[in-house]
Structure 1
Amino acid sequence: MRKFLTILLCFTLISCASSQAVKNTDPNVYQLEQVDAPSKWIIHISPIYPKEALEEKVEGWVKMSAVITENGKVTEIKVIDSQPKGVFETEAKRAFGKWVYKPALLNGKTVKVYREETVKFKI
């Protein structure tokens, strides 16, 4: 019984840890709360609605993370979650990759910053 409870506790801890969003650990990339002025998008490209999803009237969203560079470019895009799975991710990443940001500032200098955005698909 003790062995069973130990195994159950291990699986619970592992599942809790793996469900957390992975934060960027690169010391050259700051979290939004670490900078003086956060990045803010200045050019926002809307995604193209996937044809099949539009025909079937499917709506959804994609939550992504990325690094915004000192020049305001979006890099290292990763999908964190989406609903429904496998429908909108490709188009959301394509559109997000074309966004342009006003760079984040720290002590008067532009810096790389980790950012999360959610792209919604509504008919």
Structure 2
Amino acid sequence: MYDVEWTDAAAEDLYLKAPSDVAEELLAISRDALDLPPSQYGGPLGDKRWRRGVSRQRQKELDAVAGTLHDLDRSGPQACDYILVYQERGVLKSRYRVLAVISNGELAAAVNEYPNLDTPPWID
């Protein structure tokens, strides 16, 4: 088990961006899944880490049907539509600090801000 704290900015993100039921699920995920090893649902991000809004149980369910045509998607907003950006803060005891909540829409918009990714960089 570990401790988790939220910055004011992250808490504001959470409640402004996510419906209340999804926000509650993201809070639960922050208390339970930030210590999981890197995977397609989270990993390093420079000196920070990221975690998609996928609980331990949901990750097991998704991994079990990976590569099949079985669809576990639900309609409407879901926790997996959001990403938690956080830092590990503990030395003797695991402690995490959530810094931001990013929606899939924000992530897509940020990717669209990059210059043409198909163009190789010039090499001198």
Pick the structure with greater CA Rg. 1
Give the structure-2-normalised TM-score: 0.26
More strand by share: 1
Give the structure-1-normalised TM-score: 0.26
More helix by share: 2
